[in-house]
Amino acid sequence: MPAFPDRLGGLSRGDDWSIVDHLAFTFELPLAQVEALLPAQVSPVRPAPGLGLVQLIHARYPAGTLGEPEPFDEVVCAALVEPDLSLDMPLPKVTLHVVDVLSNSARFVAHKVPALKMPVHHAPSLRGAFDADGLGSKVEDERGPLLELRCPDASRFKPKSFCGQYFALHEGTLHHSVWAWQGSLFESQRARRDTGVVHAHPWLAGLGLEALTRAPCFMRQLREPGQPVSMRTYAARRFVSERAASGYDGASAPSP
């Protein structure tokens, strides 16, 4: 495991994770659709006037994680949002508002919900498979196919070490935390080649994100096949913005 700091942004160390397969695709949607996913304290990233960004992540964890005898999957739906720059930490590479998470590991769900204050749900029928060349993945469940995403042109993998932030609603309260990531990564913006399919799936429909099935891909990120990803999460805390506390439309700040 890399030498991640014990504290980041003033938050104490949480869990260390090893991830054997990982990809993240970011899509452009009309800004109003992205804003509908967000609490009032959080502002969306705007890549262009009238546009917002939603990211879909598929991660596979190795056998032995949290005592699981077999590898298991996680699928994340998140909106890209502005970070809290008041924290004492390097500039985050990305900040996510986690909309919903599915996993086929009940142990993972039972651990992650209280630890990270995220909306994580057990989906026993969820099945994920990364392609033999490691350049794409497919995800489905008993309700049908969900994702078939590919990075067929992935070739320029570079060692990366960075940190990020996330927001998430837990039991009606907005929480905020940070994370550190290290691995070998391919990144490409605005792919013109075929990047696969986001299917019309009940999960996305329930989130009001049917438009992802026809949304243009803004960014693709893929970990290098055969090279594991290391990640450290940190303790989540309740978030209160200055705007909510004082009525001033200013920068966000965490509660003490």
For 161-195, the pLDDT digits (tens) are: 999 999 999 999 999 999 999 999 999 986 656 68
Q: For residues 20 and 144, what is the distance between their CA atoms, to the nearest angstrom?
A: 25
Q: For residues 208 and 227, what is the distance between their CA atoms, to the nearest angstrom?
A: 35
List, for the chain, all residue ranges whose pLDDT scores fall below the cut of 70. 1-2, 190-194, 241-256
Task: Assess contact for 35 and 246: CB atoms under 8 A.
Answer: no
pLDDT of residue 244: 47
Radius of gyration of the chain (CA): 17
pLDDT of residue 245: 44
- How is residue 38 annotated by DSSP? S
Tokens 């609603």 found at: 169
- CA dihedral (251, 56, 26, 205) positive or negative: negative
Backbone angles phi, psi at 213, to 5 degrees: -65, -20
Residue 114: helix, strand or coil by DSSP?
helix
Please say whether the structural domain 7-246 has been given the CATH code 1.10.10.10: no
pLDDT of residue 18: 97
Q: Is the pTM of this model over 0.85?
A: yes
DSSP string, 17-75: EEESEEEEEEEEEEHHHHHTTS-TT--B--SSTTEEEEEEEEEEEPTTGGG-SS-EEEE
pLDDT of residue 175: 98
pLDDT of residue 242: 52
Tokens of 222: 């893929």
